[in-house]
A and B are shown apart, each in its own frame.
Chain A
Amino acid sequence: METYYKPEDLPKFSEMSEGAPELWKKFSEWYGAVFQAGALSEREKALIALAVAHAVQCPYCIDAYTQDSLAKGADLEQMTEAVHVACAIRGGASLVHGVQMKNVNSKLTM
Chain B
Amino acid sequence: MQARHKSMKASGETLAEANEQLKIINDYESPFPQFDDKYELVGEGFLQAGNVEIFQINLGKMCNQVCKHCHVDAGPDRKEIMTKATMQICLAALVQTDIPTVDLTGGAPELNPAFKWFVDEIKKLNRHIIVRSNLTILESNGFEDYAEFMAGHGCEIVSSLPYYKASMTNKQRGEGVFEKSISAIKKLNSFGYGKDGTGLIFNLVYNPVGAFLPPSQESLEKDYKRELLEKYGVMFNNLYTITNMPISRFLDYLIQSGNYNSYMQKLVDSFNPVAAANVMCKFTVSVGWDGQLYDCDFNQMLEMNMNHGAPAHIKDFILSTIENRRIVTGQHCYGCTAGAGSSCGGATA
A42/B219 contact (C-beta < 8 A), A75-B165, A77-B165 known = yes
Interface segment among A12-20, A65-73, A99-107: the answer is: A65-73
Q: Which residues of A contact B208 (CB under 8 A)?
A: 70-71
Interface segment among B20-28, B137-145, B209-217: the answer is: B209-217
Q: How far is the CA of A72 from the CA of B220 in the complex (A)?
A: 8
- Chain A contact patch, size range: 10 to 19
Q: Which residues of B contact A75 (CB under 8 A)?
A: 163, 165, 167-168
Q: How far is the CA of A75 from the CA of B168 in the complex (A)?
A: 8
The answer to whether B219 touches A71, judged by C-beta atoms less than 8 angstroms apart, is no
A70/B223 contact (C-beta < 8 A), A75-B163, A75-B168, A77-B167 known = no
Number of A-B contacts (CB under 8 A): 37
**Which of A71, A76, A77 is the one whose CB lies under 8 Å from B215?**
A71
Within 8 A of B (CB), among A53-80: 67, 70-73, 75-77
Q: Which residues of B contact A71 (CB under 8 A)?
A: 208, 212-215
The answer to whether A37 touches B167, judged by C-beta atoms less than 8 angstroms apart, is no
Q: Which residues of A contact B222 (CB under 8 A)?
A: 41
The answer to whether A72 touches B165, judged by C-beta atoms less than 8 angstroms apart, is no
A37/B216 contact (C-beta < 8 A), A75-B168, A77-B167 known = yes
Q: How far is the CA of A70 from the CA of B259 in the complex (A)?
A: 15
The answer to whether B215 touches A73, judged by C-beta atoms less than 8 angstroms apart, is yes
**Which of B163, B167, B214, B219 is the one whose CB lies under 8 Å from A43?**
B219
Q: How far is the CA of A70 from the CA of B215 in the complex (A)?
A: 8
The answer to whether A72 touches B215, judged by C-beta atoms less than 8 angstroms apart, is yes
Q: Which residues of B contact A72 (CB under 8 A)?
A: 215-216, 219
Q: From B222, which residue of chain A is reached at the shortest CB distance?
A: A41
Q: From A41, which residue of chain B is reached at the shortest CB distance?
A: B219
Shortest distance from the beta carbon of A27 to any chain B beta carbon, whole Å: 21
Q: How far is the CA of A93 from the CA of B112 in the complex (A)?
A: 62
Q: From A46, which residue of chain B is reached at the shortest CB distance?
A: B215
The answer to whether A73 touches B213, judged by C-beta atoms less than 8 angstroms apart, is no
The answer to whether A67 touches B212, judged by C-beta atoms less than 8 angstroms apart, is yes
The answer to whether B219 touches A37, judged by C-beta atoms less than 8 angstroms apart, is yes
**Which of A37, A67, A73 is the one whose CB lies under 8 Å from B223?**
A73
B249-293 interface bits toward A, Cβ cutoff 8 Å, 1 = contact, 0 = none = 000000000000000000000000000000000000000000000
5 contacting pairs across A/B (C-beta < 8 A) = A43-B223, A70-B210, A72-B219, A73-B220, A75-B165
Instruction: State the B residues within 8 Å of A (CB).
Output: 163, 165, 167-168, 206, 208, 210, 212-216, 219-220, 222-223
Instruction: State the A residues within 8 Å of B (CB).
Output: 37, 41-43, 67, 70-73, 75-77
- Contacts A70-B208, A71-B214, A75-B165 known; list 5 others, CB within 8 Å: A37-B216, A43-B215, A73-B215, A75-B167, A77-B165
